[in-house]
Amino acid sequence: MLVLLDASFLMHIAKAGMTLDDLEVSTGILEPRVPEAVLNELRTISNSGSKRSKVARLALDYCARLSSYPGSGYADDVLFNASNSKDIAVATLDKELIKRIRKKGGLVITLRGDRAVLVGRDHI
């Protein structure tokens, strides 16, 4: 299953020093991808000088090991639109994005503590 990673998810695992291998997800083989729009969002945050800029840089370093996924524009819209496919899940901590995707019947991977959980599509 293709899993598109959101900036919030990437920043959390980078800050916690985790990897995707550390997360327990019982969905079989996951193929993580980072949409270009998410990379652009992380670049903007990393250059902002805000408290989150250091964490965004860590997330970008982590992303260097991952494959990208096409998509430009607002990152949440790219993730939301891609979640139409039954072969794609979105990994995010963004509560509003989770609500939008679930309402549409999409699959979301989010974190509870440091454990990945599936929500939506009856948890497959």
Strand 88-91, strand 107-112: pairing: parallel
Residue 120 pLDDT grade (very low, low, confident, very high; cuts 50, 70, 90) = confident
CB 78 within 8 A of CB 97: no
Token pair for 78: 């790219």
Q: Which domain holds residue 116?
A: 2-123
Distances (CA, A) of 103 to 52, 83, 85, 118, 119: 29, 11, 14, 15, 11
What's residue 100's pLDDT? Answer: 95
What's residue 28's pLDDT? Answer: 59
- CATH number for the domain harbouring residue 29: 3.40.50.1010
**Chain segment 9-27, per-residue pLDDT in tens:** 999 999 988 877 766 554 5
**Chain segment 82-116, per-residue pLDDT in tens:** 998 888 999 999 999 999 999 999 999 998 877 77
Average pLDDT over residues 55-75: 95
pTM: 0.90
Checking if the pLDDT of 29 tops 80, the result is no
What mean pLDDT value characterizes the chain?
A: 89
Burial class (CB in 10 A: 0-12, 13-18, 19+), 119: middle
What's residue 124's pLDDT? Answer: 47
